[in-house]
Structure 1
Amino acid sequence: MTIKNRFFVLVVLSALLWFNNANAQTLSYDTTYRPGKYKELVQKFNEEPIAKKDYIFLGNSITAGTDWSKLLNLPQAKNRGISGDITFGVLERLQEVIDRKPAKVFILIGINDISRNIPDSLILRNYKKMIQRIREGSKKTQIYFYTMLPVNASFEKFKNHYGKDEHILYLNDEIRKLAAKNVTIIDLYPHFLDEQKRLKAELTKDGLHLIPAGYQVWAEVLNKGGYLK
């Protein structure tokens, strides 16, 4: 290959790399997306009577996937998980949680944002907004933020959620830093990780959602960590 041809190849490769990087940085995303049952569930939540000293579990389908009061033997536990929800959806319905003045709020959210190409910077901004609004509206509520769980692409079911581990790792690092805002961080991620840095296959049914054995691990983390006292 002549020097001229080599130069041409390098120019073409450079152009392709630039094009790919440019596309990666301009992926489309929709912050207005809400799951099909979003309005119905929010209305249901709003109609529930307010009780003192509630423990609110707030998030998406991973939170929605168990009965927290039975799992934890905790009658005051209230499930505020909506399957498919994103951080923008949580912010939209957060006032219902704040108005209850709960004793504790446990938040796990973000994996659906990642699957929908919402930038990490916006997800992190929304985390901070959640904390600020709870602090302002319900000063005595203790805020607990979970790190996101790993995923397992070997199940080949939720492909939009796979191959984005760098986003999970980055946001988990940022979530851990929220401890500086007087937020209690519960680092779930390592408890669900296998040797290949994936969600343990024996704890999931599809590489994303947990089976009862997975929720038992979660409950053990909460009980051993003293977060429910």
Structure 2
Amino acid sequence: MKPFLNKIFLLTCLTVSLSLSNTNAQIVKWDSTYRPAKYVEQVEKFKADPKSKKDFIFLGNSITAGTDWAKLLNLPQAKNRGISGDITFGVLERLQEVIDRKPDKVFILIGINDVSRNIPDSIILRNYKLMISRINQGSKKTHIYFTTLLPVNSTFEKFKNHYGKDNHILWLNDEIRKFESKKVTVVDLYPVFVDDNKRLKAELTKDGLHLIPQGYKVWAEYLKANDYLK
């Protein structure tokens, strides 16, 4: 494991006292080393995929993994790099595979599982910035499209660890919006998917967290309308 990753993954379970997003100081436990069961298998599949500098890489967790991007966008160069259950530390661990491809574009949506696992907002934000920095350094011509976190919908009563943490989502999204620059475009999906009650639109989700085909269609239309796929 590379030195900078050794620093990130020093402790399996960290206990920290901090102030989070307009909340009182609290003790939270979080694990930087969690990886989904199929993480290694998926990464090996990604490595075996032919490389092309024309690729559009969609990088993230199950929300990204839940569609065939090439078919959805009618773009053969759109490649799915979503792993169900992944967190920002997992993305950092496998990011070199993406960087080595020198893709044209990288679309990143990650962080909701970090929030559900009580990883501090400040650490998630640090990891976001590490992703941007490493891509900029290792693949200078790649343009980054950093996506705001989608809302969740607690009325489905399925992913309870993700509920009651809207302040974290809102804080992180405010920070993501500050990433806008020559090399980074912010894809602000949150307003597109949120309803009047600050929840993920029920008609676009199957369980309050993941999207149905209509939800991906809305996502695709947003990307096309804003010329992010040119």
The reply to whether TM is greater than 0.5 is yes
> Residue 7 of structure 2 corresponds to which residue in structure 1?
none
Aligned to 1:26, what secondary structure does the other structure show? Answer: strand
Deviations 1:154-200 (A, max 9, x none): 00000000100000000000000011474100100000011111000
Q: Are 1:29 and 2:30 counterparts?
A: yes
Please give the TM-score of this superposition, normalised by the length of structure 2. Answer: 0.89
Deviation (angstroms), 1:28? 0.7
Distance 1:151 1:85 in 2: 17
Q: Are 1:204 and 2:205 counterparts?
A: yes
Deviations 1:97-130 (A, max 9, x none): 0000000000000000000000000000000000
Aligned to 1:28, what secondary structure does the other structure show? Answer: strand
> Residue 137 of structure 1 corresponds to which residue in structure 2?
138
> Residue 179 of structure 1 corresponds to which residue in structure 2?
180
Counterpart code for 1:220: E
Q: Are 1:123 and 2:124 counterparts?
A: yes
Point out 4+ residue stretches in structure 1 off by more than 4 angstroms. Answer: none
Answer whether contact 2:143 2:183 (CA < 8 A) is retained: no
Please give the TM-score of this superposition, normalised by the length of structure 1. Answer: 0.89
Aligned to 1:179, what secondary structure does the other structure show? Answer: coil
> Residue 68 of structure 1 corresponds to which residue in structure 2?
69
Q: Which has the higher helix share?
A: 1
> Residue 8 of structure 1 corresponds to which residue in structure 2?
none
| Counterparts of residues 157-196 of structure 1 (less than 5 Å) | 157-180=158-181, 182-196=183-197
> Residue 156 of structure 2 corresponds to which residue in structure 1?
155
| Counterparts of residues 73-84 of structure 1 (less than 5 Å) | 73-84=74-85
Distance 1:186 1:123 in 2: 18
Aligned to 1:80, what secondary structure does the other structure show? Answer: strand
Q: Unaligned 5+ residue runs, structure 1?
A: 1-20
Counterpart code for 1:45: F
> Residue 227 of structure 2 corresponds to which residue in structure 1?
226
Deviations 1:2-61 (A, max 9, x none): xxxxxxxxxxxxxxxxxxx88x62111100000000000001101111123100000000
Aligned to 1:27, what secondary structure does the other structure show? Answer: strand
> Residue 96 of structure 2 corresponds to which residue in structure 1?
95
| Counterparts of residues 42-61 of structure 1 (less than 5 Å) | 42-61=43-62
Aligned to 2:84, what secondary structure does the other structure show? Answer: coil
Deviations 1:124-143 (A, max 9, x none): 00000000000000000000
Structure with larger Rg: 1
Aligned to 2:196, what secondary structure does the other structure show? Answer: coil
Distance 2:118 2:133 in 1: 24
Counterpart code for 1:88: F
